[in-house]
Amino acid sequence: MHELVTAIKAADGETSFKKVLIQVRKEEREKICQTFKTSFPGVYCSWFDPDKSYVLIGGLGGLGLELSDWMVRRGVRKLVLTSRSGISTGYQTKKVANLRQLGAEVVILSISVNTVENANILVQSATKLGPIGGFFNLGLVLVDKPFLEHTVESFTAPLDVKINTTRLLDQISREEPVRSSLDYFVLFSSMVANHGHTGQYNYGFGNSVAEHICERRRLDGIPGLVVQWGPVGDVGFVGKMGNNVIIIAKLPQRLHTVKSTFDYMLSQTTSCIVSSYVPQDHSTAMDSGEETLPQKISRVVGEILGVKDVTNVDGDKEFVELGLDSLMSVEIKQTLERQVNIVLDTKEIQLMTFNSLKSLVEA
C-alpha cells in the first residue's frame, strides 16, 4: 500500500486519493470452485413398514400399549398384541380403540406363546395381516420369594415367557417366509439379569438365557436385540409404586425417555445387548441434616409404599394394610440392610408398622 500511494504522488505531483485499485490476483479465465466438507449431526427416527405386521408379546401391558401407540405413529398399520388374560380393564379398551382410530388394524390374542401350537396360531394370525416385520417380547411374570420358599411351579413361572417364548419365536423366525420379511427381533430384558435382585433369581436367570438366544441370532446374521431396562415409571408394575421408588439403585425411567432411547437403540447395529437406566442421585438420597435417622428411614420406606407423608398415617397400621406387595418388601429389605444394617425377612417386614420401624432404627 505504501508503494501504491508513492506511485500516485509521483505521477500527479501531489498526493491524491481518488480511486485506488488493488489487484489481489489475476483474472480467472475458468471458474474455480473450492469444496468445503461440512458435517451435521443427524437424529435417527425409526420408521416401520405399513404393509408388514408386528407382534408384541405382552402387548396389553402398560408399556406394551404405550409402545404400540409409538409404533403406530411411526408407520405400523398391522398389530398383533398377545396377553394371557386378554383385555380386562377399561384402560386397555381405550388404548386399543385409540390405536384403531389412528388407522391400525389390531388383533388381540389371549394366549401364552409357550407351546408350538400357540406359536403357530400366533404366526398364522400375524401373516393374515401381512408379512411379519418384527417380534417384540415384552412378556413379564414376577414371583418374588426367598429361594428356599420356591416350589418348582413358582420358580419356573417367570421362565416360561422369557425362555420358552423367546426360543419358539427364534425357531419360527428362522424359517421361511418369516425369515426373509423379519426386520426386528427384540427382547425386553432387565437390569436384574446384569446386577441381580433379592427375590428375583428366577427372573434374572430367565432373562439371561433369553439374552443368549438373541446373541446366537446375531452371530448367525439375523436380527436380534436385547434391551436391559432399569425400572420404568409412569406405567406398569413399577409405575403404580411412583416415580421416586428406588430399585437396584436405579430410579424409574420416565416413559418419554424410554421411547426416545428405544428409538436410538433400534438404529444401532453394533451391539446385541444394550442397557437403559436412571442411576440413583446420591446427592438427594437421605442427606437432609434436619431429619433424624428414624425419620429418614421412615420417609424412604413411605416412598416405597406410596405414602407421601408418613406423619398422616396410623403408625400402628401394618405395612400389608398399606398396600405392601412382594416387590415393595424386597425394596424395604434392601433399604434397611443398606442404610442401617438391619436384616429382616419378608414376613417380618409384612407385619411391621411405622412405629415399630422407628423403634427398631432407634435401637
- In this structure, the answer to whether residues 80 and 223 fall within a common structural domain is yes
Q: Is the dihedral of CA 68, 100, 182, 170 positive or negative?
A: positive
What would the pLDDT profile of 216-225 be if each residue is shown by its tens digit? 999 999 999 9
- In this structure, the answer to whether residues 96 and 235 fall within a common structural domain is yes
- In this structure, the answer to whether residues 113 and 256 fall within a common structural domain is yes
Contact 5, 15 (CB under 8 A): yes
Coil/strand/helix, residue 216: helix
Domains: count for the chain: 2
* 15 within domain boundaries: no
* 220 within domain boundaries: yes
Distance, CA of 14 to CA of 12 (rounded, Å): 5
* 45 within domain boundaries: no
* 36 within domain boundaries: no
- Alpha carbon distances (Å) from 241 to 138, 252, 257, 300, 324: 20, 10, 19, 13, 10
Q: Is the dihedral of CA 52, 179, 55, 64 positive or negative?
A: negative
CATH code at 199? 3.40.50.720
- In this structure, the answer to whether residues 222 and 356 fall within a common structural domain is no
- In this structure, the answer to whether residues 304 and 208 fall within a common structural domain is no
Amino acid at site 153: E
CA angle 231, 222, 187 (to 5 degrees): 15
Within 10 Å of residue 79's Cβ, how many Cβ atoms? 23
Coil/strand/helix, residue 260: helix
* 324 within domain boundaries: yes
- In this structure, the answer to whether residues 201 and 330 fall within a common structural domain is no
Task: Please give the residue range of the domain that contains residue 299.
Answer: 293-362
* 348 within domain boundaries: yes
Kindly report each contact of residues 286-289 with a partner whose C-beta sits within 8 Å and lies 24 or more positions away, as own/partner: 286/339
Amino acid at site 218: R
Average pLDDT, the chain: 84
**pLDDT confidence tier of residue 12, bands split at 50, 70 and 90:** low
% residues pLDDT > 90 (the chain):
37
Q: Which three three-digit cell numbers place residue 115?
A: 407351546
Q: Is the dihedral of CA 205, 68, 225, 42 positive or negative?
A: negative
What would the pLDDT profile of 49-58 be if each residue is shown by its tens digit? 999 999 999 9
**pLDDT confidence tier of residue 246, bands split at 50, 70 and 90:** low
- In this structure, the answer to whether residues 275 and 311 fall within a common structural domain is no
CATH code at 356? 1.10.1200.10
Q: Ranked by mean pLDDT, which of 15-24, 76-85, 264-273, 296-305 comes out on top?
A: 76-85
- Alpha carbon distances (Å) from 120 to 36, 87, 195, 255: 56, 22, 35, 33
* 24 within domain boundaries: no
**pLDDT confidence tier of residue 237, bands split at 50, 70 and 90:** low
Distance, CA of 281 to CA of 336 (rounded, Å): 18
- In this structure, the answer to whether residues 221 and 118 fall within a common structural domain is yes
Q: Is the dihedral of CA 330, 188, 238, 278 positive or negative?
A: positive
- Alpha carbon distances (Å) from 23 to 4, 19, 29: 11, 13, 15
Amino acid at site 2: H
Look at residues 229, 256, 279 and tell me which one is the last residue of a structural domain: 279
Look at residues 279, 309, 339 and tell me which one is the last residue of a structural domain: 279
| pLDDT score recorded for residue 35 | 65
Q: Is the dihedral of CA 56, 59, 64, 69 positive or negative?
A: positive
Look at residues 245, 279, 313 and tell me which one is the last residue of a structural domain: 279
Nearest to 256 by CA among 226, 273, 235, 225: 235
- In this structure, the answer to whether residues 60 and 129 fall within a common structural domain is yes
- In this structure, the answer to whether residues 116 and 158 fall within a common structural domain is yes
What would the pLDDT profile of 265-312 be if each residue is shown by its tens digit? 998 878 899 988 888 664 444 444 567 888 888 888 888 888 878 888
- In this structure, the answer to whether residues 80 and 196 fall within a common structural domain is yes
* 25 within domain boundaries: no
- In this structure, the answer to whether residues 256 and 323 fall within a common structural domain is no
Which are the contacts of 49, defined by CB distance < 8 A and separation ≥ 6? Answer: 75, 133, 183
| pLDDT score recorded for residue 293 | 82
Distance, CA of 324 to CA of 344 (rounded, Å): 15
Which are the contacts of 286, defined by CB distance < 8 A and separation ≥ 6? Answer: 296, 297, 299, 300, 339
Which are the contacts of 159, defined by CB distance < 8 A and separation ≥ 6? Answer: 202, 205, 206, 209
CA angle 330, 335, 339 (to 5 degrees): 155
% residues pLDDT > 70 (the chain):
85
Residue with the bigger pLDDT between 251 and 161: it is: 161
